Amino acid sequence: MDARTHKKRTMSRWGIGWKIIAVSAPYAVVAIIVSLFLPEYVHIDVIPYPWMVSAGGVLVIMGVLFLVRAAREFNTGFNQCRLVTSGVYGHVRNPIYAAWILFIIPGIGVALNSWIVIATALVAYVCFRWCIREEEIALEKAFGDEYRGYRERVPRLVPNPFREPL
């Protein structure tokens, strides 16, 4: 690893992901336990259960596909010590977190037919918003104007369907 590569790696490969997990995983465990033992308080009765399982499955599959693609693109960029701004990163700056917060966690909650499990995504989102600045500062320090321009053009977590991707 040369001096330039070492300088750019101011944060681990995991970013703030471990913080999001540390906060949202205990909530998720409690939510799942409540869902199993007190289902009458957490079930969503508006939509028939088979539809909920199907919708949840679709969300989880979409999220996993999005996550795998984002992780591949990220790993390539991280290993080359470069800022990734194309592919899924051309639509959203944090696609790995987006996959979990927008698709996988809600999909699991929908499949389990539990609003309290779905709320785990809200807990993860609040933690994400609270901590993401740390990651942004590290990226700005490592990539300077390149990251600042990227940050101005690409949304943080939710893609803008009306904007052309990078």
Question: 24-72: per-residue pLDDT in tens?
Answer: 999 999 999 999 999 999 999 888 989 999 999 999 999 999 999 999 9
Dig out the tokens for 22 from the structure. Answer: 């540390």
Q: Residue 83: left (phi > 0), alpha (psi -120 to 50), or beta?
A: beta
E strand or H helix at 105: helix 105-111
Residue 120 within a domain:
yes
The reply to whether 117 falls in a domain is yes
Structural domain boundaries enclosing 147: 15-41+50-153
97-130 pLDDT, tens digit per residue, is: 999 999 999 999 999 999 999 999 999 999 999 9
Percent of the chain with pLDDT over 90: 84
Nearest to 107 by CA among 163, 51, 156, 61: 61
Inside any domain, residue 1:
no
**Per the domain annotation, does 4 fall within a domain?**
no
Largest CA distance in the chain: 59
Is residue 164 a part of any domain in this protein? no
Whether 5 maps to a domain, the answer reads: no
Rounded distance, CA 65 to CA 84, Å? 18
Domain presence at residue 77? yes
Look at residue 60 and tell me if it is in a domain.
yes
Q: Give the Cα separation of 160 and 42 in Å (integer).
A: 32
